[in-house]
Structure formats: C-alpha cells, structure tokens
Amino acid sequence: MLPLPSEGEGWGEGDLPVKKKHTQTVHRAPPPDPSGSGAAKEGLIIAHHGVAVEVLSLDGTRSLVRVKRRSGHVVGDRVEVMGEVLRRLDRSTELRRRDSRGGIHLVGANIDVLGVVVAHLPNPPPGFIDRAIVAARAADLQPFLVINKCDLEGSTGFVLALRKAYDATIPVFPLSAAARTGLGPLRDFLGKGHRGAFVGTTGVGKSSLLNALCPDIDLKVGRVNEDSGRGRHTTTVSTLHTLSTGGELIDTPGFQDFGLVDISAQDLAMHFPGFEQAGYGTCRFRDCRHRTEPGCVVLDLVKKTEIFPERYAAYLLVLDEVEADEARLRRNEWKK
Ligand SMILES: Nc1nc2c(ncn2[C@@H]2O[C@H](COP(=O)(O)OP(=O)(O)OP(=O)(O)O)[C@@H](O)[C@H]2O)c(=O)[nH]1
Ligand SMILES: [Mg+2]
C-alpha cells in the first residue's frame, strides 16, 4: 500500500505504480528499439504515479514509463515515448496551484476547462472558489462551478448563495453524484469536446462524480468525518477519463486549499468573478488596486451595486493575500 501523501508533499508521488481497477492491461514500455531506428510513439499521460506515468498511445495501447520523482510531467501532457525515454511535447495550457505550505503543484496540462467542485459539506474554505476561478482564467481555461451533494439537507441556501454570486459569470451545475441527479447539463457541457479537470477540497465528491459520469470506471471514494465534516484524501493519483457522452475529465487528489501562483494584484482584478463589467472602463490610475483610489471604475460599479458588495468584499479578502505574497517576494529579493 502506498503511504498517503500529506498536503504539500507532492500528490500522487508514491513509490510504486498503482494498478487501477478500471485500466485495461498495462504494459511496460518496450526497451529501446534494438534496430536503432528510434521510432517514437506519441501519446498522452493519463495517470501519474510519482515515479511512473501511464501513457495512452495514439494507437490505443497503454504503457508505464518510469520517470524521476519530480520530473515535472503531469496528467494531460502529450509525450513521445522512445523505449524508456519520455519527451514532453509543448503544452497549450498548464494549471498550477500553491498548497498550504507554499509548495507549487501542477494540476494538469492541455486542459481547456476547469471544474471547481464544492459541496455544502465539507464547506469550501473562504476565497477558495474565487482563487480557483482566477487561476483558471489566468491560465486561459474556462472555469465552471459544480455544486455537489445537493441531496443533503441544508444545501438549498448554499446553492442559492452560490448562484447569486456566480450565475452571471460562469456555468454553475448543482447536482448530486450520489443521487445521480442534475448530471445531464454537465454531461452536455463536457460533451462539446472539452478536456477538463476537477479541483476541490478533499471529500467534496470529485471521484464520486467521475464514477457517476463514467459508469464503467470505479474510482475509490472516501468517507467524510461526520464530526469535522472533512474528507480523508482518498484519491492520491491524478487520472484522466474519457466520457462516453463526449469530453475528457481528470480526477485530481483533493487538497486543503487552492493557493494562487504568480498572480499580481492587476491579474486578480482582471479575472475576479463578478468584476467582468469593470473591464469595459479604465481607472484613473493604471496600477489601481480598487481600494480607495479616486476615479476607480470598480468602486463606481460597487456604488451603483452593479458589482455586488459581497463580491467586492470577497475580492478584498483575496487582494490582501496577493499583497502579502508580493511583500514576501520583495523581502526575499532584498535578502539576496
Ligand atoms: N450525500 C452525498 N454524499 C456524496 C455525494 N457525492 C459524494 N458523496 C460522499 O462524499 C464522500 C467523499 O467522496 P469522494 O468522491 O471520495 O470525494 P473526493 O472529492 O474525491 O475526495 P478526495 O479524493 O479525498 O479528494 C463519500 O463518502 C461519498 O459517498 C453526493 O452527491 N451526496
Ligand atoms: Mg477522490
């Protein structure tokens, strides 16, 4: 059994490849071509086991290829395999997140949509949804919100509050993986040919949702502690799955929170959900942070309630974090 990695340790970086129930026969990558012709096989990384990746080749075969522990490869990477050698092809997109200890993780590559999964229980940490949306947009991905466990008592108010905050901005899918309700609109959305990844804190039901969307897979699901309301880091390996109704989805290990990487205060305001209208105007100061500056387009929209006060308060919360990061970076620069 692989030890479960803790937050910040590097997800899915176990010592041995894990054999998953749903995979077909897994072959080791063949030894280097003895003829020396060196024909490379193109494929896609569909699972990352830390010291090995599983590659699905264009011809439909699967192989395990050993990689260095922190090789930088990620699920969704297009690669060329030549014997035991793996060459990564250019990425169209990549999504990174910072963990609660400051470590940076690659979530996925070559995806075009990001599903931010939340549930009434466990409740998302403050700012989590906004940071994930900002990170997605900054990485050129289209974010969407999945509100799982709508069968739970007490989720109606939770759904209403999230709809008010995000409906006008991104697609919102309230559903229940357990009750298999509300899945149709999400299937239709993904069926437009998107490749996406699910991100969410541990225990919100990402793997359960994948199981509901792809009845032929059987990902392990965990239990939520009834006292703390927290999950238990059940998924430790990122895996990519093809939906029979179209589209592909990556199930990722849960985490405690989604931290931003290399997002400036300007990026934050540009991508912040609910601030879309502000993009049509120009603030008096080019480096306006939309706090108290005169001639600020955002403050004007807040005054006219065209930006909800709750959205503005949420922005200030994440801005504080971004500014604290900027100050830390500056201090580190001075020390050098
Ligand atoms: N009531 C209810 N429970 C659900 C639903 N979906 C998932 N669960 C439960 O939530 C718990 C966690 O589910 P998982 O699918 O393992 O959650 P996860 O987000 O993949 O967790 P990690 O792999 O740790 O990140 C399990 O006990 C599921 O049975 C749902 O729609 N309703
Ligand atoms: Mg899981």
DSSP 235-267: --SEEEEE-TTS-EEEE---BS--B-SS--HHH
Predicted local confidence at residue 30, as pLDDT: 47
Mean pLDDT highest for which of 28-32, 36-40, 218-222, 272-276?
A: 272-276
Q: What percent of the chain is predicted at pLDDT more than 70?
A: 86
Residue 277 has pLDDT above 90, yes or no: no
Gap from CA of 221 to ligand 2 centroid (Å): 6
Q: What percent of the chain is predicted at pLDDT more than 90?
A: 70
Q: How confident is the model at residue 106 (pLDDT cuts 50, 70, 90)?
A: very high
Section 250-260 average pLDDT: 92
Identify the helix (H) or strand (E) that includes residue 210.
Answer: helix 206-213
pLDDT digits (tens, 9 = 90+) for 36-66: 556 889 999 999 998 999 999 999 999 999 9
Question: Of 206, 221, 237, which is best to mutate to test ligand 1, by the most ligand atoms within 8 angstroms of its C-beta?
Answer: 221
Nearest CA-CA partner of 102 in 284, 319, 257: 257
Residue 248 has pLDDT above 90, yes or no: yes
Identify the helix (H) or strand (E) that includes residue 312.
Answer: helix 309-335
Q: How confident is the model at residue 226 (pLDDT cuts 50, 70, 90)?
A: low
Ligand 1 near 206 CB (within 6 A): yes
Nearest CA-CA partner of 270 in 297, 310, 302: 297
Q: How confident is the model at residue 334 (pLDDT cuts 50, 70, 90)?
A: confident
Predicted local confidence at residue 12, as pLDDT: 38
Predicted local confidence at residue 21, as pLDDT: 39
Residues with a beta carbon under 5 angstroms from ion ligand 2: 206-207, 234-235
Predicted local confidence at residue 71, as pLDDT: 86
Ligand 1 near 122 CB (within 6 A): no
Q: Are 237 and 74 in contact (CB under 8 A)?
A: no
Residue 28 has pLDDT above 80, yes or no: no
The whole-chain average pLDDT of the chain stands at 87
pLDDT digits (tens, 9 = 90+) for 148-183: 999 999 899 999 999 999 999 999 999 999 999 999
More confident residue, 69 or 135: 135
Predicted local confidence at residue 291, as pLDDT: 96
Residue 227 has pLDDT above 90, yes or no: no
Q: Whose CA is closest to atom 12 on ligand 1?
A: 203
Of 10-14, 35-39, 283-287, give the lowest mean pLDDT range: 10-14
Residue written as tokens 């080791």? Answer: 28
- Residue 24 tokens, joined: 């077909």
Predicted local confidence at residue 330, as pLDDT: 87
Ligand 1 near 207 CB (within 6 A): yes
Q: Whose CA is closest to atom 7 on ligand 1?
A: 205
Gap from CA of 135 to ligand 1 centroid (Å): 24
Of 86-90, 124-128, 226-230, give the lowest mean pLDDT range: 226-230
Ligand 1 near 253 CB (within 6 A): yes
Q: Whose CA is closest to atom 16 on ligand 1?
A: 221
Ligand 1 near 304 CB (within 6 A): no
Distance CA 84, CA 2 (A): 24
Q: Are 318 and 271 in contact (CB under 8 A)?
A: no
Residue 255 has pLDDT above 60, yes or no: yes
Section 121-135 average pLDDT: 96
Predicted local confidence at residue 2, as pLDDT: 34
